[in-house]
């Protein structure tokens, strides 16, 4: 091989070096909020996950943490092979089911079943092993970008919230008074016990379930810090939408389990817990604003209604041990901000609007609107690369995993769906305001088998996660 290898060639070489056989398929996994790229690599006998990340320091942190935690018997992916000079490594394939995915499969009409609560309890109990046992003898010098969740780290998060959420949402504030409260909050948080491993992004999408057992991923941002932050991250994970009564029960479970560790003070944990909830929520809302308002990645905006509902609950039910009047005033304004009107109460409100989503073939014409109202959107998917022209996909549909994996890797698909989601979301908001009852959205392609089916399924998923509407879906050519 001459010249610089492509990413797929690099991963293929690493796979062959690791197991001695050639890779038969390399499929890129759907992107997350980071710049890391993940690929599922399969051969005749083995399947692994290949990672490519240009941030060498972040790679070093992840690899070190993985080996340290695994040496303690904690449930993290095994690292098979690494090539830091080329920013790539191979790790154990833990499957496709995250705690987030599982929770929505087992929940019906918003009900949080006892079986799901037990899974969360197991996850919280295991989290303590990472935070407390895993912190012992851990080399914190590899942490990136900071070795601890210190005052500077906190200031970064609070500024993130100020400039990428409050500013972009046009929420007014007195900058000096807000900064004064920021400093009060930071001083109080740093007075707590902070000699533990802080996972940093402990949310339901970073817990994998394999054969019912939880495994933990994406801890590369970990550092020294307080226990409360990670518990807040999981229980106030916006789109997981854990009911408040369940959140409180899970919090009590976590605190009871702390009795296994005599050096930890449960009373201090509880007293300062909701102050950590605040800073975690501000970090998350800063991310929603940056990715959603600024970068125009609309799926991040889907989390805002849940975050607003959580914030409202906190203001109604929590008394803080410190005085932060300017910050609390900002929260009250945020809940009334005109620019956030379309996001308020989305997750808790039942809608009278039904969105009918169709896939179809242009050979047989555009579907009629069964509601009798006419109109709606018709999106033409024929410009998207056609999986049906490849023999491996011809017998499959846009609901089959190989086709889903293929189309999810196409940049034009992401750009197209992002634009479609934005238009449909705008219509949903206006239709609900005017108490309309029906909206139809149709996706058409040549055969009505691959591209239109995939796009219709993605829109249905988008609306179910981010809107309160009823969704029906019909794949005309398949049905």
Do 219 and 143 form a contact (C-beta atoms < 8 A)?
Answer: no
d(CA 301, CA 295): 11
CB 434, CB 373: distance < 8 Å: no
Identify whether the C-beta of residue 453 lies closer than 8 Å to the C-beta of residue 381: no
Report the first-to-last Cα separation within the chain, whole angstroms: 48
Sign, CA dihedral 190-243-433-438, equals positive
User: Are the C-beta atoms of 21 and 13 separated by less than 8 Å?
Assistant: no
Identify the three-state secondary structure at position 37: strand
Residue 131 phi, psi dihedral angles, 5° rounding: -70, -40
Q: Are strands 213-216 and 88-92 parallel, antiparallel or unpaired?
A: unpaired
pLDDT of residue 298: 67
Measured distance CA(27)–CA(343) in Å, rounded: 35
pLDDT number for residue 1: 45
Closest CA to 287 of 300, 277, 269, 268: 300
- Write out residues in the chain with pLDDT < 50, as ranges: 1, 347-348
Q: Say if residues 301 and 164 touch (Cβ distance below 8 Å).
A: no
Q: For position 33, what pLDDT does the model report?
A: 65
Intervals of CATH 3.90.1200.10 along the chain = 99-343
Could you say which of 3.90.1170.50, 3.40.1280.10, 1.10.1050.10, 3.30.200.20 is the CATH number of the domain covering 7-92?
Answer: 3.30.200.20
So what's the pLDDT on residue 130? 97
**C-beta separation of 160 from 287 below 8 A:** yes
| pTM, full prediction | 0.80
Res 345: pLDDT: 56
At the topology level, CATH places domain 99-343 in Aminoglycoside 3'-phosphotransferase; Chain: A, domain 2 (3.90.1200)
| Range(s) within the chain of domains with CATH label 3.30.200.20 | 7-92
pLDDT of residue 339: 83
Residue 459 confidence (pLDDT):
94
Is omega for the bond preceding 70 within 30 degrees of 0, making it cis? no
Q: If 0-12 CB within 10 Å is exposed, 13-18 middle and 19+ buried, where does residue 194 land? A: middle
């Amino acid at each position: 091989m001459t010249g610089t290898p492509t990413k797929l060639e690099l991963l293929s070489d690493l796979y062959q070096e690791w197991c001695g056989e050639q890779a038969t398929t390399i499929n890129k996994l759907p992107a997350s909020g980071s710049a890391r790229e993940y690929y599922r690599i399969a051969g005749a006998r083995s399947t692994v996950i290949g990672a490519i990340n240009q941030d060498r320091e972040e790679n070093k942190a992840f690899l070190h943490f993985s080996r340290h935690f695994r040496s303690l018997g904690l449930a993290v992916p095994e690292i098979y092979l690494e090539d830091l000079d080329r920013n790539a490594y191979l790790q154990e394939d833990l499957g496709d089911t995250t705690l987030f995915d599982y929770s929505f499969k087992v929940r019906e009409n918003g009900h949080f079943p006892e079986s799901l609560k037990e899974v969360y309890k197991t996850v919280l109990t295991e989290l303590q092993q990472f935070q407390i046992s895993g912190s012992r003898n851990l080399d914190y010098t590899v942490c990136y970008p900071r070795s601890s969740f210190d005052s500077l780290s906190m200031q970064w998060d609070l500024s993130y919230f100020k400039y990428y959420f409050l500013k972009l949402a046009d929420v007014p504030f007195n900058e000096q008074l807000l900064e004064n409260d920021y400093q009060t909050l930071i001083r109080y948080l740093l007075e707590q016990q902070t000699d533990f491993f802080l996972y940093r992004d402990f949310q339901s999408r970073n817990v994998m379930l394999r054969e019912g057992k939880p495994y933990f991923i994406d801890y590369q941002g970990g550092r020294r810090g307080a226990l409360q932050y990670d518990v807040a991250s999981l229980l106030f994970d916006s789109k997981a939408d854990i009911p408040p009564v369940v959140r409180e029960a899970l919090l009590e479970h976590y605190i009871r389990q702390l009795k296994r560790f005599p050096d930890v003070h449960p009373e201090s944990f509880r007293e300062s817990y909701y102050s950590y909830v605040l800073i975690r929520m501000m970090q998350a809302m800063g991310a929603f604003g940056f990715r959603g308002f600024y970068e125009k990645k609309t799926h991040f905006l889907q989390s805002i209604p849940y975050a607003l509902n959580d914030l409202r609950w906190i203001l109604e039910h929590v008394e803080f041990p410190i005085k932060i009047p300017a910050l609390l005033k900002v929260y009250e304004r945020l809940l009334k901000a005109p620019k956030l009107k379309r996001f308020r109460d989305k997750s808790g409100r039942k809608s009278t609007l039904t969105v009918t989503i169709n896939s179809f073939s242009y050979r047989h014409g555009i579907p009629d609107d069964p509601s009798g109202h006419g109109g709606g959107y018709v999106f033409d998917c024929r410009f998207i690369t056609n999986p049906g022209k490849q023999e491996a996909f011809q017998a499959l549909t846009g609901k089959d995993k190989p086709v889903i994996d293929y189309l999810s890797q196409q940049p034009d698909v992401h750009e197209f769906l992002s634009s479609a989601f934005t238009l449909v979301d705008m219509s949903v908001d206006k239709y609900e305001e005017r108490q309309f009852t029906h909206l139809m959205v149709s996706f058409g392609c040549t055969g009505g088998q691959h591209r239109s089916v995939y796009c219709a399924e993605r829109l249905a998923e988008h609306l179910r996660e981010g809107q309160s509407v009823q969704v029906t879906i019909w794949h005309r050519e398949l049905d």
